[in-house]
């Protein structure tokens, strides 16, 4: 999908080194196989994928795979929930699921990791993060997911704690890097209301991923909608460099 995926699994005290390595290798193989399979269907970076065939007009949605149709239906439901800020179609009408497919892939990978019996892990796909448990097995210590400063990609704006208080996922969307799947046509967000980057922390990765994209596309109106309808925390970087943050992110600034 044109991005890098990493998996971290902390070792519980007393675990033999060889057992820890075998556990990580098995989990990595499962995640790799899943992402590769979804890549063959949904990636616009592969000319032989279903998504690319659809974008070229060689394959209709009606003739696409069941997986493609199911994800399109889910994306269409999100369009309704976000009042059009998130959409599965480009302005030219071509179906493009780039705004939801990474979150979907991470969701499926997380389900697979839990099915393996793993209780502590961190999955990172292109800066979006999904976690379970703790980096210190058996403790309440949260994972810390960094939010990059869009004005300086070598620094962080903050680090959000994941794995507690119902927050297991953090997704970031923006126009400064890989923002080709974000369209704001018809939403009429004023330039000074526009966001360069939006990070959303939520209970699940698809909600975080979709809402981050929707808020970038829809501006302040979509941020207000998202924070009122969903239990999420949002950090938005305005085009003029200012920040808007819901209480969860503001509390981090206060604590720091």
What is the residue-averaged pLDDT of the chain? 89
Of the two residues 92 and 239, the one the predictor is more confident about is 239
Can you name the CATH fold of 5-255? T-fold (3.10.520)
pLDDT band, very low/low/confident/very high, at 22 (cuts 50, 70, 90): very high
Cα 151 from Cα 237, distance rounded (Å): 10
pLDDT over 90 percentage in the chain: 75
In the chain, domain spans: 5-255
Q: Shortest CA distance to 239 belongs to which of 194, 207, 202?
A: 194
C-beta separation of 246 from 228 below 8 A: no
Q: State yes or no: pLDDT of 42 exceeds 80.
A: yes
From 182-191, 193-202, 241-250, the region with the lowest mean pLDDT: 182-191
Of the two residues 42 and 186, the one the predictor is more confident about is 42
What pLDDT is recorded for position 183?
A: 47
Question: Rounded to two decimals, what is the model's pTM?
Answer: 0.90
Cβ count near 11 (within 10 Å)? 15
Helices (H) and strands (E) in the chain, counts: 7, 9
Q: State yes or no: pLDDT of 247 exceeds 80.
A: yes
Torsion of CA 228, 141, 117, 208, to 10 degrees: 20
What pLDDT is recorded for position 1?
A: 66
Cα 163 from Cα 246, distance rounded (Å): 18
| SS3 label, residue 131 | strand
Cα 235 from Cα 247, distance rounded (Å): 10
Highest mean pLDDT among 94-103, 106-115, 178-187 belongs to 106-115
Q: State yes or no: pLDDT of 8 exceeds 50.
A: yes
What pLDDT is recorded for position 193?
A: 64
What pLDDT is recorded for position 182?
A: 53
What pLDDT is recorded for position 194?
A: 87
Query: Would you give the DSSP letter of residue 95?
Result: B
pLDDT band, very low/low/confident/very high, at 252 (cuts 50, 70, 90): confident
Q: State yes or no: pLDDT of 189 exceeds 50.
A: no
pLDDT band, very low/low/confident/very high, at 164 (cuts 50, 70, 90): confident
């Amino acid at each position: 999908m044109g991005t890098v995926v990493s998996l971290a699994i902390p070792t519980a005290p007393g675990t033999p080194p060889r057992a820890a390595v075998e556990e990580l290798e098995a989990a990595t193989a499962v995640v790799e196989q899943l992402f590769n399979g979804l890549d063959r269907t949904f990636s616009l970076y592969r000319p032989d994928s279903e998504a690319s065939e659809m974008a070229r007009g060689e394959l209709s949605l009606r003739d696409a795979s069941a997986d493609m149709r199911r994800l399109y239906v889910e994306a269409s439901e999100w369009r309704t929930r976000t009042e059009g800020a998130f959409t599965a179609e480009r302005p030219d009408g071509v179906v493009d699921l780039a705004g939801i497919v990474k979150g979907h892939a991470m969701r499926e990978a997380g389900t697979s990791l839990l099915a393996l019996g793993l209780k502590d892990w961190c999955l990172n796909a292109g800066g979006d993060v999904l976690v379970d448990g703790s980096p210190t097995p058996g403790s309440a210590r949260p994972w810390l997911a960094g939010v990059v400063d869009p004005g300086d990609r070598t620094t962080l704006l903050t680090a959000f704690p994941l794995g507690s208080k119902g927050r297991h996922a953090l997704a970031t969307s923006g126009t400064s890097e890989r923002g080709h799947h974000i369209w704001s046509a018809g939403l009429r967000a004023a330039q000074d209301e526009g966001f360069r980057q939006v990070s959303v922390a939520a209970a699940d990765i698809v909600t975080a991923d979709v809402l981050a994209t929707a808020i970038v596309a829809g501006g302040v109106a979509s941020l207000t909608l998202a924070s009122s309808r969903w239990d999420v925390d949002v950090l938005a970087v305005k085009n003029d460099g200012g920040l808007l943050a819901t209480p969860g992110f503001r509390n981090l600034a206060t604590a720091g």
